[in-house]
Structure 1
Amino acid sequence: MIPQLPLAVALPPPITLADFIPGKNRQLLDLLTRMAAGRNGEILFISGAPESGKTHLLMGLCSLAEQQKRSCAYLPMEELCKLSPELLAGMESMDILAVDGVQHIAGQAAWEEAFFVLFNLAHAAGKNLLFSADRGSGQLPFLLPDLRSRLSWGSSYRLQPLDDEGLMELLQNQAQTRGLQLKSKVARWLLNHCSRRPGDLLAFMDRLDEKALAEKRHNLSLPFVQSCL
């Protein structure tokens, strides 16, 4: 029997703070939740390894804040740094500025200057400023020392990786979001036989979801999961 091919019409689930598995990062998650609800004048700098959850946190913050009728700008700098820094003009009017991957503007004089100006305007207006990077602010090779200094004004958090229980919770939550059943013993087997990087685990969940849809199944049994490796 030829399996049914899934149509590419499924939308990705929305990214929310409620879906973030905090592990040892509960304090940071609580602070972001308060910021989204209306805590003003905060400056936060989040650092962490690739796939540690920085983008999830920034996008989740913006999603929750918008539900509270607050204006937000999510700025993915890996893509935006290829454009003109003039796009930052007027963004100091936003309640929250979430700058993802600020390391990508390091060494670009025009971008550094534009962010320095934006930072000063937004901070003077009592806005919330949230930055993420792959390393601490003091380690970023900025041409403009004053920008590095500004980024160190607020609180700084280093994201802690998930332990085994956190990774299992991530897998099971992702399965549930997709309408699938993933028992603990199967999730444990996955952790013992697959890459433990969160991004790789989520990519594998996408593959499982696609094949499960094609076979019209909901239970991710161990034989089924093994067949997808």
Structure 2
Amino acid sequence: MKQLLLDVLAAPAPSLENYVAGPNTEALAALRALGPARAVYLWGPAGCGRTHLLRALSDRRDAVYLDSRSPVSAYRSVAQPDESSARPRLVAIDDLHLLDEPRLACVFSLYNRWRETAATDMALSLIVAGELAPGNLELREDLRTRLGWDLVFRLDVLSDAEKTDALARQAASRGLQLAPEVLNWILTHYERDMRQLAALLDALDHYSLAAKRPITVPLLRAMLAEQPHPSPNQSYSPLS
């Protein structure tokens, strides 16, 4: 059983289709309609889906996704590309609040490039995400101003009722029928990020099939107890 859980499949790749919008329908609609020469700044607390949306939008050949772990050279190549460099048509910058000064300087230059090319055939889409509203970020003022040049959306975390509904629908899509007490136990005792919850469903499905037992709270507890370091907040998702 332990080996089975270690080998469990990762949660589905982020997409606009599997993003559970909840109160964020306006932001999702704007991102679906996003075209060249548009810029969006998304902000909200951990678990609101910032990274999910940026990963989904940058899952194309002419797009680049960057975060605080990306090398400065990658930032420079999109902010000030030379003539021999491939020029992405969409740039997604995640976790702005974690970027250091060299990377922030590149984001500043990237906004300038976005505005300069807006009316040309080299126009690009720019999506930036951070934890706080522009006015609350500790940034140089000229960069803070640029974050509001186009669209700004606050993303909110799903309510418990919305998460319960989303979890039930994700389970149904896998052919699983989860009793209300199972759903309540998961949301009470387990990590509430929707990507991690989706990965937990996959693990639970595999475990139930291997054990040849229906999905119940005792089965869920048994699955988690078999982990090397059992924890109600253990994550099965590789995405940050």
Residues 1:42 and 1:216: Cα distance change in structure 2 (over 3 Å): farther
Q: Which runs of 5+ in 2 are unaligned?
A: 119-123, 225-240
Residues 1:225 and 1:22: Cα distance change in structure 2 (over 3 Å): same
**Which sits farther off after the overlay, 219-228 or 132-141?**
219-228
Task: Give the corresponding residue for 2:231.
Answer: none
Alpha carbon RMSD of aligned pairs, Å? 3.0
Q: 1: distance between equivalents of 2:158 and 2:46?
A: 13
Task: Give the corresponding residue for 2:17.
Answer: 18
Q: 2: distance between equivalents of 1:82 and 1:212?
A: 45
* 1:66-104 CA-partner distances (Å, limit 9, x unpaired): 3xxx721111x2212676743434289322111111111
Task: Give the corresponding residue for 1:194.
Answer: 189
Cα distance, 1:224 vs structure 2: 1.8
Q: 2: distance between equivalents of 1:15 and 1:84?
A: 22
Q: Which runs of 5+ in 1 are unaligned?
A: none
Aligned residue pair count: 212
Task: Give the corresponding residue for 1:78.
Answer: 68
1:114 corresponds to 2:106: yes
Q: Any idea what SS the aligned residue of 1:25 has? A: helix
Q: Any idea what SS the aligned residue of 1:141 has? A: coil
Q: 1: distance between equivalents of 2:9 and 2:162?
A: 27
Alignment of 1:9-88 (within 5 A): 10-35=9-34, 39-63=35-59, 66=60, 71-75=62-66, 77-80=67-70, 85-88=75-78
Residues 1:94 and 1:84: Cα distance change in structure 2 (over 3 Å): closer
2:128 corresponds, among 110, 116, 131, to: 131
Q: How many percent identity over aligned positions?
A: 25
- Taking structure 1 as the reference length, the TM-score comes to 0.77
- Taking structure 2 as the reference length, the TM-score comes to 0.74
Q: Any idea what SS the aligned residue of 2:153 has? A: strand
